[in-house]
Amino acid sequence: MATETAPPETDDEPSSGEQSSVEDSYVEPNIDVEALKGLLDGPYAGMRDLVRGNLARHSSILEEAETMTRDAFRERVKDLTLELAATGQTGMGFPESYGGGGDIGASIAAFETLAFGDLSVLVKVGVQFGLFGGAILQLGTKAHHDAYIAKVVTGELLGCFAMTETGHGSNVQALGTVATYDAAAQEFVITTTREDAWKDYIGNAAAHAELAVVFAQLVVGEDDHGVHAFVVPIRQGGRACAGVSIEDDGPKMGLNGVDNGRLHFEAVRVPRTSLLNRFADVAEDGTYSSDIDNANKRFFTMLGTLVQGRVCVGGAGINAAKVAQTIAIRYGNVRRQFEATSDTEEELLLDYGQHQRRLLPLLAHTYALHFAQEIVAGQCHDVFSGVESDELVRRQLESRAAGTKALATWHATRTIQECREACGGAGYLSVNRFAALKADTDVFTTFEGDNTVLLQLVAKGLLTDYSSDFADLDQLGMVRFVAGLAVETVLEKTNAHKLFERVRDLLPGGDQWDQEAGLLDSNYQLAMLRFREEHMLGGVARRLKRGIDNGMNPGAVFSEVQDHVIASARAHVERLVLEAFVDKVAELPDGDNKVVLSLLCDLHALSTIEADRAWFMEHGRLTTARSKSISREINSLCRKVRPLARDYVDAFGIPEEMLRAPELIGPAS
Amino acid sequence: MATETAPPETDDEPSSGEQSSVEDSYVEPNIDVEALKGLLDGPYAGMRDLVRGNLARHSSILEEAETMTRDAFRERVKDLTLELAATGQTGMGFPESYGGGGDIGASIAAFETLAFGDLSVLVKVGVQFGLFGGAILQLGTKAHHDAYIAKVVTGELLGCFAMTETGHGSNVQALGTVATYDAAAQEFVITTTREDAWKDYIGNAAAHAELAVVFAQLVVGEDDHGVHAFVVPIRQGGRACAGVSIEDDGPKMGLNGVDNGRLHFEAVRVPRTSLLNRFADVAEDGTYSSDIDNANKRFFTMLGTLVQGRVCVGGAGINAAKVAQTIAIRYGNVRRQFEATSDTEEELLLDYGQHQRRLLPLLAHTYALHFAQEIVAGQCHDVFSGVESDELVRRQLESRAAGTKALATWHATRTIQECREACGGAGYLSVNRFAALKADTDVFTTFEGDNTVLLQLVAKGLLTDYSSDFADLDQLGMVRFVAGLAVETVLEKTNAHKLFERVRDLLPGGDQWDQEAGLLDSNYQLAMLRFREEHMLGGVARRLKRGIDNGMNPGAVFSEVQDHVIASARAHVERLVLEAFVDKVAELPDGDNKVVLSLLCDLHALSTIEADRAWFMEHGRLTTARSKSISREINSLCRKVRPLARDYVDAFGIPEEMLRAPELIGPAS
């Protein structure tokens, strides 16, 4: 090799045969699996166990998803949804006065746990009780509640949530369905005005829903008041109501137990009281009234009440990833291939460094996301139970739910794919679960908000400090607003800088904190992610400002800065996720379980930094030598996590029946 | 922002409003789509068009894959396979004397093009004509050819390739099926010796194959001669032959038109002449003979003749990715969402910077892989047509085919996923193709060799210089061999260093070549990838040596160094891919099509470097400022490629019928 290109040997220290002093003193901890499961289950352990029991009892659904025709399976999923409703697990989010459980947190926990099983059932439950029932609960008033909620909770009344149209999924303010008020008849006339304004991809619409919550532009006389929600009967006795056309969306990649369909309205008349009127109303004479003057803000307030759906999908993605990881790690723990350390026995897959590298950091991310999700679910409970009524907190919840959903569902897609590949050809057989996991979760990155659009929402919140004055800004309004501020002003409003300063002061080295702190010091890890977030946000603000100052069209500026916008939102959410994990570890009493969680937390933190190490080097916060040290430390952590891997996944508490994969996973613990 | 953490403004130059001098002089070229299609189609344009026509004629298969029962669809796929055989497209790889086309290159081109359509058909064709027919052709001798090939070519005789077992997919030398020679009867007795030695995942086995090429340990008397292939009847008149048990593998994630199954043999007797005896034979008296003394080497020589399968799967992955990209780019070119640069019209998705970033570098990679694949296919043609008989070339082909297959199929998985997400909820509907593309291609990363194992094979070839003396080394033998050499000796044997030196001398700046050369200078781009390959290989050699010198178990050394081994193999293949693209551009006559290909080549090269920019920084070959420049240049290239995007995908020449996706793709050109 040419000497001029060879780095100093010490700069390229190989890992083989190397033992750090930390490793020398390391004693392998024992995991108390039950205690760890309890920690993961959190305050709703009982509810989660109820759902686990229900899943195991109805585990035949996993096979039925493969063997039944699409029509028969849809009926089966509907029937099972009703059976689950009878156990109480699906109605936890509704008031007790209507037969619900009156506990939002329990409702989210139940939904998340359902993701261990067939995901058509999960989504059917989500559509009926979350989207449809939730919209009536959140957007309607007492008359609507009295009329519908009790029957929604039992499943006697099935409904759908008709927001998305063929032409508009992300930009729902531009919907083409119109509800025109006819004061003479005291009715709204619902009309699909364009070919691309069919309600589309609507779950429960193709076969089962009798009622739809329809989002439409409310027009009274000359005035368009923007998008509002209406209760519209669409099907009676199995047939479409007059003026309503229903089409089936046809076969989908997955979730074929859910009857997604299209709806078209031709002058469908509904009573004036069909308007879900919590945030706005139309009087008999057509007078429009709302406590929220700004139409944009009113719309986003309405949408904000539906945040539970995003919280639930994020949690479901994390739990679906757990199923994949449990199978892949148990397989890697029993499957042997090629002789390596022994001449007489082939090596266990999980003893290969590469296999550890592909599976174990993802396991650590799942734990991290689990604890981050726990916080989001807790905040969601507080906000929707009235424990917390501050508007700022509500907007922060919306942002956090959006960001966590995005990262959690991308994590699910990536993890399930990696786990399938790690199980080789066996992973391709449907009996081994990955087929359904992949196909069913695929759309999680899209529904309840496209992940890219959600991250833009997160960035907007950060850049405008969640201020209610700017809640009504669209993307371009945000560009103009941020461009009008000094960069320092933008950053002062975010708390990334304050948090960074706080933790940096705890580290040795002063301005050299990034070189002198220990890699396994969680304050160092936090400082890195906080620094990155602050720096990226500043970069976005500076770029927006410069683009506008240079006279560019705000849309063009946004397009060019969009990758930075999204990167900064991701950096923000990754910081929140790490904080959640670090805090969880910190609050544990000393003992082996604290040690084992701490290992995973370090693995999560360092592999998050490693994944973006180029950025840290580019921005002067990571020397090349230290970057390499991080990679070596990750390998070392993988070797420590490896013997504990089975316990880590056992703590997820996935019922054995839900794993199927009889040939892959070895015996139950 | 705290001043001590803010980088200098010039170090963080934003892209908005910035115009490089190159951009000022840039004139948008016009793509001659037909000429570009001709360039992509290469020497087998006629064959590709024949297949395109066949695909379009039978395009109903795409819908039948969704609507038929599994059993009915299997029959449909078999029937279509026979219809295709009648057109000559599937038999191109067989000698004309048996009714084939006698043109390996045409055979590969035909197979690749078939990947525009239903992939069960593709795999059924691959199993029958590639794996089964290919094994008889390559491992058998004239008697076998006379007995079978003509009937294989027409499809009158259907067969399967029974190598993989439940317990062994990657380490096929450890198969548990045994063929014991009974000299008295002059028969081999085929037996499944263990529960995990069922032949498994065998395409064509569950329903259609009459004959199997069975790989089994050949035992004569006391001697085990290792794995050999035998022709074994498994089914007659639709029923399993005596002693043969057949099970169905059941539903799979995709490819459900292919009847994968398991085979078990209980003392199944076949004549002595059933041994496919090109490389070894057993005489009547049981005397074993082979021109290749070493059992390992003999086995790898046999396997090597089957390399066409890997070449074909790599090409199929690339073409499946083209289908996804054509749909996603045409959708991005007509779909609008959110107002951005205009107040009256929503923005086209493909005009968003983020959307360009997610789709266009992948498009560039597809072009690059296409040209790299063209080289592999050409070498395959030469080697198997006798144009090239050098053993070293043959081994290099095996390595290159393995590496290209790995990168191409991972690229397909990633690209199809990204394209699905870029089409939102619509991408989830089966009619829009992604469902089948995702499900069917998923196993490409596993079959015909697990990608990770294949990259290890590539690394082994590099580290042992493809020397025939070491062709028989297993992984641990490789470790010991490399550890026994000086690092310099290892590197001298590879040609990465020579190639690096050659191109470096063309660059300005001497040792500072990496800082002074232009980013768009293809010699700079090549130098970067060649430097990385050489450096990584040196690192692997050094690590292996140190581990062994430190007295570690070779298997443990390998496990710890495995990620470096795989990274170096990937670096090698990425270098080959870039060379293929650069060479292709260089040989084009001046003109707009050269300009447009050059744009994509730069985008491919720079995004390949960007993806590993952390490594380049860690190894002193990329300053942080230059790293940021590369990211900006990629954004700039994306903006140039964007208006041409539709033409780039039109040049793939995918029949309109194969795209389906009626609501997504806009009008045909």
Mean per-residue pLDDT of chain A: 93
Do residue A561 and residue B438 have CB atoms under 8 angstroms apart?
no
Q: Which of B538, B543, B555 sits opposite A341 (nearest CB)?
A: B555
- Give strand pairing partners of A213: A161, A231
B617–A620 CB contact, under 8 Å: no
Residues present in chain A in total? 669
Number of Cβ pairs closer than 8 Å across A and B?
305
CA distance A383 to A88: 22
pLDDT band at A6 (very low <50, low <70, confident <90, very high): very low
pLDDT in tens, A9-25: 333 444 444 444 445 68
What pLDDT is attached to residue B20? 45
Please judge whether B439 and A438 are an interchain contact, meaning their C-beta atoms are less than 8 angstroms apart. yes
Q: Which of A7, A357, A624 sits opposite B563 (nearest CB)?
A: A357
Query: Are A435 and B435 inside 8 Å of each other by CB?
Result: no
Determine, for residues A253 and B428 on separate chains, whether the beta-carbon distance falls below 8 Å. yes
pLDDT at position B42: 97
CA B535, CA B539: separation in Å to the nearest integer?
6
Contacts of A488 in chain B (CB under 8 A): 1
Chain B interface, best mutation among A171, A437, A560, by max B CB count within 10 A:
A560
Q: Give the residue from B523, B534, B641 showing the smallest Cα distance to B586.
A: B523
State which residue of chain A sits closest to B166, comparing Cα positions.
A426
- Asked whether B369 and B408 are in contact (CB, 8 A), the reply is yes
Residues in chain B with CB shorter than 8 Å from the CB of A16 are 543-544, 546-547, 550, 552, 557, 560-561
Residues 6+ apart with CB under 8 A from A103: A92, A93, A381, A385
- Owner of token pair 């508009």: A168
The conformation of residue B128, written as its DSSP 8-state character, comes to I
Closest CA to B576 of B326, B399, B342, B389: B399
C-alpha torsion A7→A8→A10→A13, nearest 10: 30
Distance CA B437, CA A21 (A): 50
For residues A580-595, give the mean pLDDT. 97
Write out chain A residues lying below 8 Å of B360, CB-based.
none
State how far residue A87 is from chain B, nearest Cα, in angstroms. Answer: 32
The answer to whether the CB atoms of A16 and B560 lie below 8 A apart is: yes
Burial B446-459 (b: 16+ CB within 10 A, else e): bbbbbbbbbbbbbb
Nearest to B430 among A15, A252, A342 (CB): A252
CB atoms within 10 A of CB B471: 22
Q: Report the distance separating Cα A632 and Cα A610, nearest Å.
A: 10
Report pTM.
Answer: 0.96
**Residue of chain B minimizing CA distance to A66:** B251
ipTM exceeding the 0.85 mark: yes
At B53, give phi and psi (nearest 5°).
-65, -45
- How is A120-149 classified by DSSP, letter by letter? HHHHHHIIIIIIIHHHHHHHS-HHHIIIII
Q: How far apart are CA B312 and CA A39, in angstroms?
A: 50
Question: CB A421 to CB B635 under 8 A?
Answer: no
Residue A469, pLDDT score = 64
How far is the C-alpha of A410 from the C-alpha of A406, rounded, in Å? 6
Backbone angles phi, psi at A282, to 5 degrees: -120, 120
Cα A351 versus chain centre, distance: 32
- Quick one: DSSP state of residue B470? G
Q: What is the CA radius of gyration of chain B?
A: 26
Cβ contact A624–B618 (<8 Å): yes
For B627, which of A250, A340, A614 is closest by C-beta distance? A614
Looking up tokens 């310099």 gives B488
Pick the residue of B16, B165, B262, B540 with the most A CBs within 10 A to test the interface with A by mutation: B16
How far from B302 is each of A385, B136, B390, CA to CA, in Å? 69, 11, 16
pLDDT (mean) for A166-178: 95
For residue A466, give the DSSP letter: T
Catalytically annotated residue among B165, B448, B533, B534:
B448
Instruction: State the virtual CA torsion across B60, B62, B68, B73 in degrees, nearest 10.
Output: 100
**Which residues does chain B have with pLDDT short of 50?**
1-22
Distance CA A269, CA A204 (A): 22
Q: How far apart are CA A579 and CA A371, in angstroms?
A: 9
pLDDT of residue B410: 98
Neighbours of A668 (CB within 10 A): 8
Chain A residues in contact with B447 (beta carbon < 8 A): 425
Does the distance separating the beta carbons of A491 and B169 come in below 8 Å?
Answer: no
Q: CA-to-CA distance for B224 and A506, rounded, in angstroms? A: 67
Instruction: Give A339's contacts in chain B (Cβ within 8 Å).
Output: 474, 476, 555
Contact A435 B439 (CB under 8 A): yes
Of the residues A450, A530, A618, the best mutation for testing chain B's interface (the one with the most B CB atoms within 10 Å of its CB) is A618
Q: How far apart are the first and last CA of chain A?
A: 52
Chain B partners within 8 Å of A624 (Cβ): 617-620
Q: Which residue of B has its CA nearest to A417?
A: B442
Amino acid at A472: D
Contact state of B430 with A357 under an 8 Å Cβ cutoff? no
Taking only the tens place, the pLDDT of each residue in A459-507 is 998 988 877 666 666 777 888 888 888 888 888 877 888 899 889 889 9
For B619, the closest of A7, A488, A535 (CB atoms) is: A7
The amino acid sitting at A618 is: E
Average pLDDT for residues A388-392, to the nearest whole number? Answer: 84
Q: How many CA atoms lie within 13 A of B559 on its CB side?
A: 25
Examine the pLDDT at A1 and tell me if it is beyond 70: no
Catalytic residue list of A? 448
The torsion angles phi and psi of B665, rounded to 5 degrees, stand at -100, -5
Q: With pLDDT > 90 as the criterion, what percentage of chain A qualifies?
A: 83
Question: What percentage of chain B reaches a pLDDT higher than 70?
Answer: 96
Number of CB atoms found within 10 A of residue B390's CB: 9
Contact B100, B237 (CB under 8 A): no
In this predicted structure, what is the pLDDT of residue B24? 59
User: What's the gap between Cα A497 and its chain centre?
Assistant: 26
Which of A447, A562, A563, A634 is the mutation pick for testing B, counting most B CBs within 10 A?
A563
**Residue B261, strand partner residues:** B202, B248
* Residue A468: per-residue pLDDT: 64
Interatomic CA distance for residues B90 and B103, integer angstroms: 11
Model confidence at A431: pLDDT above 90: yes
Do the chains contact at B425 and A543, CB–CB below 8 Å?
no
Selecting from B170, B337, B547 the residue whose C-beta is nearest the C-beta of A171 gives B337
Would you say residue A132 has pLDDT above 80?
yes
Interface test with A, best of B552, B563, B637, B642 (most A CBs within 10 A): B563
Judge whether A420 and A428 are in contact, CB under 8 Å. Answer: yes
Q: Quick one: how far is CA A342 from the chain centroid?
A: 44
* Closest residue of chain A to B496, computed from CA coordinates: A1
| Whether pLDDT at A62 is above 50 | yes
**Cβ pair A428:B438 closer than 8 A:** no
Q: Provide the pLDDT for residue B55.
A: 98
